[in-house]
Amino acid sequence: MSTASATPKYKRVLLKISGEALKNYQTGEPIDAGVLKRLAEDIKEIRKLGVQISVVVGGGNIFRGLAGANNKGTDRTTGDNMGMLATVINGLALMDALEKNGVEVRVQTAIPMDKIAEPFIQRRAVRHLEKGRAVVFVAGTGNPYCTTDYAAALRANEVNAEIILKATKVDGIYDKDPMKHADAVKYAHIGYEEALMKRLGVMDAEAFALCQTNKMPILVFSMNEPGSIRRAILGETIGTIVN
Ligand code: UDP
């Protein structure tokens, strides 16, 4: 059990939250107030440890460009723009929850919308982090045909984060789908090459390549376990680390 005086393993991290993680599967609501509140509380704890935290939020709980193109016949670029706007909605919801928890936060967007959020400016983002503010990056990379995992890989490198904490529904990376195979084995640690060779699908190929090329570690863990983000930051054995 960790104590309040515990020493964090990292000084600056980037947390990737998928849009799906914000969804309430019982009611179908895209953004669950309870999940947001828990997330904000977790981030507050991390700030108390003195860790600088930025967050990339996904938008899959609201809209995905590819799904839109496949199911609704939406033009892919238009759909991707809609997906990026969905991440802005999630980011603003997270901002609100953080502020209600007393966490100072700035939202930076890759698509300029100056009434709502700051534009993404790398140096300004770093300055916010140094001042102890959480920074939420929204609108992905600002480009279609990308994912928010790619945005996470990009921003983590740009702000010199030490690690990407990728919060998912599953508590790590398994040799096969743990939902389908009872004998699936979880990796505590895996190298980039091995993860690629075994096609473990940690992130999409472009995002993964950006991490591998720049030696950006990725910790895949479950957000559903209370306190998991804090435990990850304290370097406790949790999830799967790819490096
Ligand atoms: N998207 C995009 N460019 C980006 C990031 C996201 O076009 O740089 C679009 C894309 O359509 C994607 C959607 O936004 O499907 C939502 O992002 P994502 O699927 O990565 O969200 P998550 O799976 O993390 O909820």
- The CATH number covering residue 85 comes to 3.40.1160.10
Residue with the two structure tokens 């700030």: 47
Each residue of 111-145: pLDDT tens digit? Answer: 999 999 999 999 999 999 999 999 999 999 999 99
- Using the atom order of ligand 1, give the atom closest to the CA of residue 81: 7
| Ligand 1 centroid – CA 147 distance (Å) | 4
Contact 59, 93 (CB under 8 A): no
Tell me, yes or no, if the pTM score tops 0.85: yes
Q: Which amino acid is at 44?
A: K
Indicate if the alpha-carbon torsion angle 71, 73, 79, 82 is positive or negative: negative
Return the structure tokens found at 150.
Answer: 């790619």
* Residue at 29: amino acid letter: E
Burial 39-50 (b: 16+ CB within 10 A, else e): bbbbbebbbebe
* 203 Cα to the center of ligand 1, angstroms: 12
The tens-digit pLDDT sequence of the chain (243 residues) is: 444 568 999 999 999 999 999 999 899 999 999 999 999 999 999 999 999 999 999 999 999 998 888 888 889 999 999 999 999 999 999 999 999 999 999 999 999 999 999 999 999 999 999 999 999 999 999 999 999 999 999 999 999 999 999 998 889 999 988 888 999 999 999 999 999 888 888 899 999 999 999 999 999 999 888 889 999 999 888 999 999
How many separate domains does the chain show?
1
User: Can you tell me the distance from the alpha carbon of 200 to that of 177, in angstroms, rounded to the nearest whole number?
Assistant: 9
3-state secondary structure labels for all residues of the chain:
CCCCCCCCCCCEEEEEECHHHHCCCCCCCCCCHHHHHHHHHHHHHHHHCCCEEEEEECCCCCCCHHHHHHHHCCCHHHHHHHHHHHHHHHHHHHHHHHHHCCCCEEEEECCCCCCCCEECCHHHHHHHHHCCCEEEEECCCCCCCCCHHHHHHHHHHHCCCCEEEEEECCCCEECCCCCCCCCCCEECEECHHHHHHCCCCCCCHHHHHHHHHCCCCEEEEECCCCCHHHHHHCCCCCCEEEC
Angle at 46 between CA 45 and CA 49, to 5 degrees: 95
Which residues contact residue 197 at a Cβ distance below 8 angstroms, ignoring those fewer than 6 apart? Answer: none
**So what's the pLDDT on residue 2?**
45
The minimum-distance atom of ligand 1 relative to the CA of 60 is 25
Q: Which residues lie with the beta carbon below 6 Å from any ligand 1 atom?
A: 18-20, 58-60, 64-66, 79-80, 83-84, 86-87, 140-141, 143-144, 146-151
Domain that holds residue 26: 4-242
Which atom of ligand 1 is least distant from the CA of 64? 15
CA gap 111, 118 in Å, rounded: 10
